[in-house]
Every structure is written in structure tokens, then in C-alpha cells.
Structure 1
Amino acid sequence: MKLLKVFVVSDSVGETGEQVVKAAITQFRPNFDNTLIRKFPHIEDNDHIEKIVEIAKEQNAIIVFTLVEEKMRQFMINLCHHEQVECIDLIGPMIHLFEQQIGEQPLEEPGLVHKLDDDYFKKIEAVEFAVKYDDGRDPRGLLLADVVLVGVSRTSKTPLSQYLAHKRYKVANVPLVPEVNPPEELFLVDPKKCFGLVISPEKLNVIRKERLIALGLNDDAIYAKQSRIEQEIEHFYNVVERIGCSVIDVTNKAVEETANDIIDRIEQNK
């Protein structure tokens, strides 16, 4: 069996070229027997290309490259042709086709797809974090969070956590109830990343009554009584005073508005 050598050359990490090469090779050698794939990532200039072509010629290797800059691609093609080294331009023809089709110039900036991937995975990680540490389920998350929200029931802690998560912030939230002592971790959190959410008793009374009705319950339960709400809010202020964190009145604010307020404060504190 003939030894197959493939050099994957890229101005980024080379993952795209490597996956295409592997997809093609498996049609001949599913187990990659007697096959060598070598990556040359982060190629920045023609000197690097010259050295790679020299090695490829010595080792009788094929060069597969993904270079987004047209001048570098053309240099690679010309040099390989001159040195009689087989090469394949994976991305150039596609960029050229798109350029003709839409009449726009390519950015020629390496690694953009991986920047998008990183951004996507950061968002997913933040969303999963918000779910895991929602409603005070695991106090350990408070010390790992970028943002900590505290407030009484029905102050939009969960939807606000999810909205911030989609902005790549890891958020944990804790409901405050007079009968339950807040977790000790809450008082170890940096006050600058902790935010207390408060709402007017009258507004909260309406929201809680609507919630009870939606659940098929009687709206005169203690949960929605004005005296109970005032007791909870008093407890809330006692806790946030101990924490030393900012308080945001969400009475007439949309979730997006509150989120932007929090983001502005976090960025100012950096």
C-alpha cells in the first residue's frame, strides 16, 4: 500500500481543510492506514509557504490549503506548479464564485468562522448555566456567575437571566423569602455583579393574582395578599443591604430595558 502524505496548510487553525481531507481519504482508507496528515496552521507570509512547499517536495506530499488572502493563494499555486508539487485550493474557487455572484469584495480575514463558533458556544454555555443555577437551585453557581440577581417571586428573575445569557453572561438568581435564610454564598459575591430587583407592591399584587388565576387557584391566597408582599419586600431590602448591591426598580421596565441597564453597569465596573 502506497504511503499517502497530505499537508493541510491554513492561515487559521486548519480544521476545515483537515475535515475535508479526512472525508476524502476515508473513501479509500477508512482506517487511515499508511496515511499521514500534517497540519500547518496560522501561515502568515510567503516565507512560511516556501518552507512548506520545500518539505512537501522532499517528502512527495500533497498540499491542501485554505488561505483566504488571494495573493497568498496565488503564490502557493505558482510555487507548487514550479516545484511540481500537487496542490489543491479548497476555498479560493468558492470565494471567487461568491464574489462574482454578489458583487462584493471578500474580507480576506483568517479565522472568522471560528470566531462565530466561539461566540455561539459561549451563548450556549451561558444559557445552560442560567438554567442550572435558576431559582437558587445550587448556591455554588453564585460564585461562578458573571451576574447574580436577587428578588422576591415574580420580579422577572428567570426571563432576565435567559435574556442576559443570550448576551453571553452567566447568570444565577436567588428568590428571597422571609422564612428561608439566603445562602451564605450570596454574601461572598462581589456586590458590583449582584443586582436586586424590586417592584411596587401594587404592581406585584396584580401580577401574583394573575399568576394564581392562570394556575387555576383562588386569587385571594396569602401569596398575593398586600401584607405578605410588603413583608417580602422589607425582607428583600434587608438582604440587599447586607450584600451592598445595586437595586433596580423593574415596576415599569421591560426585560430588555432592565438587561441593558445591568449590562451598562457591569461594563462600567470593568
Structure 2
Amino acid sequence: MNLKTPGESYFHLHLVSDATGETLINVGRAACAQYANVLPIEHVYPLIRSMKQLERVLNEVESNPGIVLYTLVDKEIRERLKERCRELGVPYMSVLAPVVQLFQSYLGGSPTPRVGGQHSLDANYFKRIDALNYTVMHDDGHMTDDLESADVVLLGVSRTSKTPTSIYLANRGIKTANIPLVPSVPLPPGVEKLKKPLVVGLVASPERIVEIRQNRLLGLNAADLGASYIDREAVNEEIILSRRLCARNGWPLIDVTRRSVEETAATIYALYSERRRRAIAET
């Protein structure tokens, strides 16, 4: 069965890293997203820290020529990769080199290369772990008695991407709780009196929410159990009530109908950062 869309083409994308490869994956996918009908076949090679490991990578590149992106600290390994890519006639690039060179020209001095430096067990790392633990424990309205310790509290009706957005923010080190807005169910005590956290409402169009809820019920084989859950008028009333709640409390409201989780989280992060800047300026 051929699932290829007419007009689509494929190419091999080799991502070679001496760390986890996450940086390369993100950069590669961001670049590929600019080409609507070109799809990458990703070959990810993490933790490449020896010549023996590199030779296996180079054999794969020779068998499947394509673009090679890399982040390698070891000069000998890096030079061997570049040399072999030139011999094979495949394009290659260090995704961090231009950025590091820019930093060096501005800051002066030479950088101190560290394998996987961005993943080191520093204070920021443990802050992210702490945020993830907090966010998981405060998902979907659980443990609402200590919401004042959150950085962000998300509110929204069912299927407005509260949980994935919370997890994404937690990966940025932001402790995030989320609370579902359910018809006839009051908010947990104290939510409307929160001072420290940034409270944000999430909404979407009734059509979008109904579509997602229908798919959800089908996946659970419970399509006959959710008449009001997928009734457009009932859903529209839920959204109206959530909008009124946010307006009454002066909480920012984000329409996620056409936003990815990443875009929603980026907007919330910007609101959170601006709020912190104002608080610092006022002290």
C-alpha cells in the first residue's frame, strides 16, 4: 500500500551527535517544515564518541547518501566525518558552529567545548525535573490545595490541550497545574483568589472541540455515552461560561483552535516572562 502523497519526495537526513541528538532533531525538523512536499527519512545517531562508532555511521551515510548534520565536540571525530563526507560528495554542516562563532566574536575568548553541555546536571536541570513532578501531580484538577505554589495554572473545558501544554511548559522549568472546567462543577476553592501563579484560560471553537471529543469517544468505544459531551449547543455554552470566567477575573484567554501545543506554550511562556519582568521592575 503506497501512502505517498502525489508530488512528495524523500531524502535521507543523517543526524550525528555525541550527546542525545535532540538539538539536531529539532533543527532538522524545523528546516524540513519549510518544504511542503519534501519529507526526510531520519537517521539519528546519538552518543557517537569513538572512531569505531563513527565508522558505522559513515557506512550508513555511504549506503544512503543525503544531508549530514552534526554536533561533535571531539576534533578528531569531527574531522574524520567531514573528510568522509567530502569523499562521498554529500553535504554536511555543524549546526552549532555558526552560532558559537557569533558568540565568540561578540563575547571574545574561546568557548570550552562540553559534550552534551546543555544536558548537564545543573540547577536548571533539577528545576525542570521538579517542574515535571509538580505538573504530573497537579494534572486534571488533582491536588488543588496548593495551587499557590504553581507558576502557571491552566483552565479550560475538556479537549483544549491542557495536559500536553502543561507538560511542554514543565519541560521549560515552569510548574504548571491544569484544571478542567466542567458544567455544574464549581472551581476548586481559592482558584479565583490566586496571587502568585499566572492563570490562563484555554478555549477553542465548538466545532473543533466536538470533533476531538467525538474521536475520543470512538477511541474508547463509548460513542453512545456522550450525548451532551458532543452536543454542539452544550459545548458552545461551556465555552461561553469559560470566557465569562476569565473575563471576570482578568485572566488572559488563548484560543487554541488553530494553534499547536508548542505555539500555545510559547504564548503562555511569553505572558509568564512579561509578568515576571513587571514584578521585578516593581520591587
TM-score for the superposition, normalised by structure 1: 0.57
CA drift of 1:192 comes to 7.2
**For the aligned residues, what is the CA RMSD?**
2.7
Structure 2 residue aligned with 1:246, among 252, 258, 263? Answer: 252
CA offsets per residue over residues 118-153 of structure 1, 9 Å max, x none?
A: 222111111110011111111123211111100001
* Aligned position for 2:227: 221
Shift in Å at residue 183 of structure 1?
1.4
Q: Percent identity at matched positions?
A: 41
User: What's the TM-score, normalizing by structure 2?
Assistant: 0.55
**How many angstroms apart in 1 are the aligned matches of 2:262 and 2:140?**
20
Matches within 5 A, 1:251-262: 251-262=257-268
Give the Å deviation of 1:114. Answer: 10
Q: Is the 8 A contact 2:141 2:178 kept in 1?
A: yes
Q: Find the partner of 2:209 among 189, 200, 204.
A: 204
Residues 60-118 of structure 1 show CA distances to partners (whole Å, capped at 9, x for unaligned) of: xxxxxxxxxxxxxxxxxxxxxxxxxxxxxxxxxxxxxx788879x66399xx8997432
Verify the 8 A CA contact 2:149 2:197 in the aligned structure 1. Answer: no
Per-residue deviation, 1:158:
0.4
Matched, 1:136 2:141: yes
Change (3 A) 1:241 1:106: closer
Greater CA deviation, 168-177 or 116-125?
A: 116-125
Q: Counterparts in 2 of 1:133-212, with a 5 A limit?
A: 133-190=138-195, 193-212=198-217
The 1:206–1:107 alpha-carbon spacing in structure 2 relative to 1, beyond 3 Å, is same
Contact 1:209 1:224 in 2 (8 A): yes
User: Match of 1:222, SS?
Assistant: coil
**What is the Cα deviation at residue 167 of structure 1?**
0.6
Q: How does 1:48-197 map to 2 (within 5 A)?
A: 107=112, 116-190=121-195, 193-197=198-202
Kindly provide the amino acid, as one letter, of the partner of residue 231 in structure 1: E
| Per-residue Cα deviation, 1:156-208 (whole angstroms, up to 9, x for no partner) | 00000000000100001111112111012211223871110000001111111
Kindly indicate whether residue 252 of structure 2 is the aligned counterpart of residue 263 of structure 1: no
Contact 1:191 1:244 in 2 (8 A): no
Aligned position for 2:45: none
Q: For the structure 1 residues 119 and 192, does the alpha-carbon distance in structure 2 shift closer, same or farther, using more than 3 Å as the test?
A: closer
Instruction: Describe the shift of the 1:149–1:115 C-alpha distance in structure 2 as closer, same or farther (beyond 3 A).
Output: same
Question: Which whole-Å deviations, capped at 9, do the CAs of 1:2-49 have from their partners, x for residues lacking one?
Answer: xxxxxxxxxxxxxxxxxxxxxxxxxxxxxxxxxxxxxxxxxxxxxxxx
| 1:194 counterpart SS class | strand
Consecutive unaligned residues in structure 1, runs of 5 or more: 1-97
Unaligned runs of 5+ in 2: 1-73, 80-109, 277-283
Partner amino acid, structure 2, of 1:163? Y
2: CA distance, partners of 1:101 / 1:218: 56
